[in-house]
A and B are shown apart, each in its own frame.
Chain A
Amino acid sequence: EVQLVESGGGLVKPGGSLRLSCAASGFTFNNAWMSWVRQAPGKGLEWVGRIKSKTDGGTADYAVPVKGRFTISRDDSKNTLFLQMNSLKTEDTAVYYCSTDFYFMGRGVIQHFDDWGQGTLVTVFS
């Protein structure tokens, strides 16, 4: 059974930093592409970014609102995904979910988030 467990959320002031972790089990983590998706209180879902497997290059891509401030990394030896968040803004307040990310490019892109963690709440306030 796939399990994703996020941790590291909390209260932080604008301009501050926070590092989220996502412990994965139940699947071959080093082969998986992983994403972070967030949800502001009472709002919809927003993709934050993803990291490819090392076999596929290990690079990360980010949504425009977080590019240059957030960094996604992974430690395959510990089956753990990270989200380093710097220069935090009040609009970054959200529940942050990690998820497995299926991606295939054929005639079009087939992409979906298969499994999700329970989420961790990040609150940015002064």
Chain B
Amino acid sequence: QSVLTQPPSASGTPGQRVTISCSGSTSNIGSNTVNWYQQLPGTAPKLLIFGNNQRPSGVPDRFSGSKSGTSASLAISGLQSEDETDYYCAAWDDSLNGPVFGPGTKVTVL
């Protein structure tokens, strides 16, 4: 059972905006920054968002992150077919003294 909570799935049509939520507690999201990773099928995860809302070089600006209290969210604007994959939130957990991940959300482009 994951320390962070995410919905198992999310979907949208091309061009739509999709939002994925990530819920935690005061020992993780409430105290530390949130990251999002994208994992295409059969490949290694890729850092998508770090520091709650920062995009690494090369990540399209249609991906955005936000955080409020003990929850965070990833938004994908202008959904594209190549966005259909798994997304994981993560944050440092002070109680466990290590990073924790959400269970992942599979995004489907209808």
Contact = CB atoms under 8 A, between A and B. Distances in A.
A44 B104 contact: yes
Interface string B25-66: 000000111010101000111110011000010000000000
What size tier do the contact residues of chain A reach? 20 to 34
A108 B88 contact: no
Interface in A71-118: 97, 102, 108-118
B68 interface: no
Contacts of B88: 44-45
Nearest to A108: B32
B32 A112 contact: no
Contacts of A64: 96
Interface string B66-107: 000000000000000000000010111010111111111000
Contact of A114 (B32, B47, B102, B103): B47
Contact of A109 (B33, B44, B50, B103): B33
Contact of B98 (A63, A113, A116): A63
Given A109-B92, A109-B94, A118-B44, A45 B37 contact: yes
Interface of A: 37, 44-47, 49-50, 61, 63-64, 97, 102, 108-119
